Structure 1
Amino acid sequence: MTEEERDTEGVRLQKVLANAGVASRRVCEQYIAEGRVRVNGTVVTELGSRIDPTSDLVDVDGTAIQLDATKRYVVLNKPTGVVSSMKDEQGRPDLRRFTQDWPERLYNVGRLDAETSGLLVLTNDGDLAHVLAHPSFGVTKVYIAKVTGRVSPQTIARLTKGVELEDGPIAADKARLLDASAGGGTSLVELTLHSGRNRIVRRMMAEVGHPVVDLVRRQFGPLHLGTLPAGRARELTTVERGALLTLSRRDAAAPDEPAADH
């Protein structure tokens, strides 16, 4: 939409922001006047500005605002034993049971293997799903791995320095030992990775001699699992949606590569 078209068409920017739950219309007008609002990357300070909520991208203080009310964003704490698919051809438990509370057809962003539990995003926003699941964007994920044996500080250092796997070297962005005496000769390790390679956490820990017993993804980009029980799903908060959309808009163009599970 051109500036001339915005003068006669579309919806006033402050109304769009208020309808999106940013703040009251009067406060939104103040945000605009203070230069805190951008439309398609350009600061807009004119209160009479009109936009097209279906196509224009708006952010306030650098945080993306969801204008399309038809888009749904849900976080699930996937339990073990469930495959990351909306329909499993082998008849295994899938994700459909967790989407029944929403009328939209939701799909998972990326995957977690059946024996890995934790944070999985479900949405009907295909553009966002493509960006978030794409290896080229390097979205950070945080995992807690229960592994066999007592992990040493030297092993933690090795994980961040890098290990050689059959498909090439890999290094954790961060690694720390949470508990070296978790009982039964096991340790708890927290790994932060941006890799999308297949079952990467399990393969890294096996390579350093500490096979994974249990694996949970606690964080995906700006989203945290928090206290959400296993097998439960909830809609993202306004703040979480803004953080997720901001992340997805960093660079909407990426080469096609499949997203892998862990």
Structure 2
Amino acid sequence: MRLNKYMALCGVASRRKSDELIKNRKVKVNGEIVEELGIDVNENQDIIEVNGKVIIAEQKNIYVIINKPEGYVTTVKDQFNRKTVLDLVKDIDERIYPIGRLDYETSGLLILTNDGNLTYRLTHPKHEVVKTYLARLKLVPDKIKIKQFESGLKIDDYVTAPAEFKIIKKDENQSICEIKIHEGKNRQVRKMCKAIGHPVLSLKRISIGNIELGNLKIGEYRNLSQKEINYLKSL
């Protein structure tokens, strides 16, 4: 991590003011006065002093939701150098990570945090958090296929749990459907729709439990309210 960023995380000063402290030879790393700007430090190994006092970062829990665009991955790093959702939150100093995932072609609501306990709660299978999607499908499923979808489908080597499926809008060539599931297996909604003969044309997650995407613009994020954080922790 850049030294000035670490200093900012410790509450010493802003990054710009931290650079001024470095220029004025007020900062030491492992007992040596820092002579240049832009150096990296290991916050877990290096000892950083400012004006003779050791500084230590206290973790501040961050909770945000982002409207993930299509064409972004939800991994921290990508072997193919594709854009990741972390590219959209570069102005957040703390290290935050996505809870769960949305595939490359899927857009919509994604929660990011540095709260490991909450991540565990929301991703563990025993905590059945309902996720709601808007799916644009090829053609229009009939009642029999919808019933199959809702009852459970054989996908890969597992049978999906009961789900909800509702047609919102339709024409001759496609349908807009609201889908609710509480599992999170890889590309599950897409595989389920394909299994009933109606491939996904586009897919967007609009809510996780009671946390809704609302009118958040594509590629933008917002902090969760305390009420929303308390709700997630209560699940």
TM-score normalised by L of structure 2: 0.72
1:234 alignment partner AA: R
- Out of 67, 81, 90, the residue aligned to residue 100 of structure 1 is 90
Cα separation, 1, equivalents of 2:85 and 2:186? 20
What does the per-residue CA deviation read over 1:131-151, in whole Å, with 9 as the maximum and x for residues that have no partner?
Answer: 212222121101111110122
CA 1:134 to 1:171, structure 2 compared with 1: closer, same or farther past 3 Å?
closer
Higher deviation after alignment, 68-77 or 228-237: 68-77
Q: Secondary structure at the match of 2:81?
A: coil
2:27 aligns with none
* Deviation, structure 1 residue 99: 1.7
- Out of 164, 167, 175, the residue aligned to residue 174 of structure 1 is 164
1:208 aligns with 196
Count of aligned positions = 178
Question: Are the counterparts in 1 of residues 151 and 163 from structure 2 also a CA contact under 8 Å?
Answer: no
Report which of the two structures shows the higher radius of gyration computed on alpha carbons: 2
2:166 maps to 1:190: no
2:163 maps to 1:163: no
2:128 alignment partner AA: G
Q: Secondary structure at the match of 2:214?
A: coil
Q: Secondary structure at the match of 1:160?
A: helix
2:46 aligns with none
Unaligned runs of 5+ in 1: 1-67, 248-262
Cα separation, 2, equivalents of 1:208 and 1:236? 36
What does the per-residue CA deviation read over 1:11-67, in whole Å, with 9 as the maximum and x for residues that have no partner?
Answer: xxxxxxxxxxxxxxxxxxxxxxxxxxxxxxxxxxxxxxxxxxxxxxxxxxxxxxxxx
2:206 aligns with 218
Question: Are the counterparts in 1 of residues 161 and 183 from structure 2 also a CA contact under 8 Å?
Answer: no
* Deviation, structure 1 residue 155: 2.0
1:91 alignment partner AA: N
- Percent identical pairs in the alignment equals 37
2:204 maps to 1:241: no
Superposition RMSD in Å: 1.7
- Out of 207, 216, 222, the residue aligned to residue 228 of structure 1 is 216
Cα separation, 1, equivalents of 2:176 and 2:162? 15
2:63 maps to 1:73: yes
2:193 alignment partner AA: M
- Out of 122, 125, 128, the residue aligned to residue 115 of structure 2 is 125
Cα separation, 1, equivalents of 2:69 and 2:136? 16
What does the per-residue CA deviation read over 1:64-103, in whole Å, with 9 as the maximum and x for residues that have no partner?
Answer: xxxx982110000100000002221210011222222221
2:102 alignment partner AA: L
Cα separation, 1, equivalents of 2:137 and 2:157? 22
1:130 alignment partner AA: Y
2:105 aligns with 115
* Deviation, structure 1 residue 220: 1.0
